[in-house]
């Protein structure tokens, strides 16, 4: 036992990657019928309509699950009993640098784990393998059909459903990448908070984050959300205003970093000395709530119960701070608390920031709908060991959602003068990335 755990700690990234590929190979072998093989395509380069300018490439998730290489027209061929084959299409090109070393430092490990075949054109694949015998998984069904692959074998649900479902549970290698992506992201968040407290604009804060994480904008796992004051109440606020805001009250920044294709997804809300004291206290309360929810995480818990805990916590804070004039239970039953937290408490996380399979019933497919009171909840899964997801309760003052309550039945339930004082403070979200352990949770964002 001691020997094993010491060995595990000593394993290099290359070793955990090798074991990740071995685990994935086994998973595919369970899913594939005898003699069946599947070709997984990273994707094709896309262009803006009527333009020769390419759209930033993002490899298909089930390809990225095998390889930390973000290139178009790369393929993995999996057949039970064989070493997986990796077809790298690297064109002869003097316009772009086509060398692959820049993507990852795992290149030697990739050569160990795969039978690597270098090709100068996608047409070379048909010469290497009988494509008509393969299943195809990927974003270019027209290409697959043109290779003679039958429609029934292109993105077959019988393959995709078990693969999507399995993505929620991470290998040791994947968890390590997510830990690193969190460490990097936190460096960015510290720089962002410092820039904000020094009077920086959204634009300056955004750049401070990227600089500290050593990321180009297109390398982030999703578009940074950087909102000062009322912009913090726009859930996916997309602009980065160049204007400095004198005496800004708070910064909400939702931003992550990425390591070998795995992204972190972290949100922090930082008050300044100008923050309304009630909002300042709500921020402290939301941090405590977020950590309480994380403390409830363990195998066998249904993810929607974490969401219910978040809504209940928001309701408590509304009562404690005199924003609500009715009991917590009434805020929940009448769905008034939901107007202050109109999103779900989180989502699966991994190769995709909203990772696949969040609503899937089981490995065969099916769907578990979110509860009617919270249709935006992105995960309805049962928690199991080594699942990774976010926990991100929020509390916002969104005029569009509050205005109907102001004039309706709820007008007596809420303290409108205080709400009007708090609308200029925007909103709060606190988000960490969580791994389920055998008995509880590992908070990847607070280690
Ligand atoms: Mn998130």
Residues 134 and 26 in one domain: yes
Q: Write down the mean pLDDT value for the chain.
A: 95
Domain-terminating residue out of 112, 131, 166: 166
296-349 per-position pLDDT tens digit: 999 999 999 999 999 999 999 999 999 999 999 999 999 999 999 999 999 999
Tokens of 100: 């692959």
> Pick the residue with more confidence: 394 or 2?
394
State how far the Cα of 157 lies from the Cα of 367, in Å rounded to an integer. 13
Task: Work out how many domains the chain is built from and give that number.
Answer: 2
Cα(201) to centroid(ligand 1), Å: 23
The CATH code of the domain that includes 135 is 3.40.350.10
Which segments of 129-171 does DSSP mark as H helices, in order?
141-146, 157-167
For residues 324 and 332, is the Cβ–Cβ distance under 8 A?
no
What angle separates helix 172-197 from helix 202-213, to the nearest 10 degrees?
140
Residues with CB under 5 A from ligand 1 (ion): 265, 390
State how far the Cα of 143 lies from the Cα of 279, in Å rounded to an integer. 54
Residues 281 and 334 in one domain: yes
Handedness of CA 156, 159, 165, 168 (dihedral sign): negative
Domain-terminating residue out of 146, 166, 186: 166
Structural domain span for residue 371: 172-443
357-395 per-position pLDDT tens digit: 999 999 999 999 999 999 999 999 999 999 999 999 999
Cα(120) to centroid(ligand 1), Å: 39
Cα(347) to centroid(ligand 1), Å: 7
Residues 127 and 217 in one domain: no
Cα(28) to centroid(ligand 1), Å: 29
DSSP 380: -
Determine the distance from the C-alpha atom of residue 114 to the mean position of all C-alpha atoms in its chain, rounded to a whole number. Answer: 27
Residues 219 and 127 in one domain: no
168-185 per-position pLDDT tens digit: 999 999 999 999 999 999
pLDDT of 2 reads 40
Q: Which residues contact 102 (CB under 8 A, 6 or more apart)?
A: none
H helix count then E strand count, the chain: 14, 17
Cα(432) to centroid(ligand 1), Å: 8
pTM, whole model, 2 decimals? 0.95
pLDDT of 447 reads 80
Cα(376) to centroid(ligand 1), Å: 12
State how far the Cα of 227 lies from the Cα of 269, in Å rounded to an integer. 10
The CATH code of the domain that includes 184 is 3.90.230.10
Domain-terminating residue out of 132, 166, 200: 166
Cα(431) to centroid(ligand 1), Å: 7
Cα(267) to centroid(ligand 1), Å: 8
């Amino acid at each position: 036992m001691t020997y094993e755990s010491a060995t595990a700690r000593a394993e290099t990234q290359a070793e955990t990657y090798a074991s990740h590929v071995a685990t994935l190979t086994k998973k595919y072998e369970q899913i594939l019928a005898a003699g069946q093989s599947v070709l997984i395509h990273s994707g094709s380069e896309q262009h803006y309509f009527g333009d020769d300018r390419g759209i930033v490439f993002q490899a298909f998730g089930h390809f990225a699950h095998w390889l930390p290489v973000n290139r178009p027209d790369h393929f993995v061929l999996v057949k039970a009993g064989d070493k997986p084959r990796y077809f790298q299409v690297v064109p002869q090109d003097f316009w772009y640098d086509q060398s692959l070393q820049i993507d990852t430092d795992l290149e030697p490990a990739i050569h160990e784990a795969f039978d690597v075949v270098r090709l100068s054109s996608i047409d070379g694949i048909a010469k290497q393998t009988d494509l008509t015998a393969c299943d195809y998984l990927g974003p270019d069904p027209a290409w697959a059909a043109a290779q003679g692959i039958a429609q029934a074998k292109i993105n077959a649900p019988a393959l995709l459903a078990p693969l999507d479902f399995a993505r929620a549970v991470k290998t040791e290698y994947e968890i390590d990448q997510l830990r690193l992506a969190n460490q990097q992201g936190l460096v960015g968040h510290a720089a962002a908070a410092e820039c904000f407290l020094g009077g920086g604009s959204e634009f300056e804060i955004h750049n401070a984050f990227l600089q500290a994480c050593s990321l180009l904008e297109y390398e982030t796992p999703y578009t940074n959300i950087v909102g000062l004051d009322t912009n913090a109440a726009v859930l996916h606020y997309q602009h980065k205003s160049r204007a400095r805001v004198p005496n800004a009250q708070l910064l909400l920044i939702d931003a992550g970093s990425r390591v070998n294709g795995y992204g972190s997804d972290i949100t922090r809300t930082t008050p300044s000395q100008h923050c309304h004291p009630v909002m300042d206290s709500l921020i402290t309360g939301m941090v405590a709530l977020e950590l309480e929810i994380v403390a409830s995480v363990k195998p066998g818990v249904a993810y929607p119960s974490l969401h219910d805990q978040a809504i209940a916590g928001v309701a408590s804070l509304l009562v404690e701070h005199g924003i609500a004039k009715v009991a917590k239970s009434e805020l929940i039953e009448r769905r008034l608390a939901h107007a202050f937290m109109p999103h779900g408490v989180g989502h699966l996380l991994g190769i995709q920031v909203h990772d696949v399979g969040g609503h899937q019933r089981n490995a065969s497919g099916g769907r578990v709908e979110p509860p009617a009171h919270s249709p935006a909840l992105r995960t309805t899964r049962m928690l199991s060991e080594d699942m990774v997801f976010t926990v991100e309760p929020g509390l916002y003052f969104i005029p569009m959602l509050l205005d109907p309550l102001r004039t309706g039945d709820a007008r007596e339930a809420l303290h409108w003068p205080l709400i009007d004082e708090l609308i200029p403070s925007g909103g709060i979200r606190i988000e960490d990335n969580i791994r389920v352990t055998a008995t509880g949770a590992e908070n990847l964002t607070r280690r």
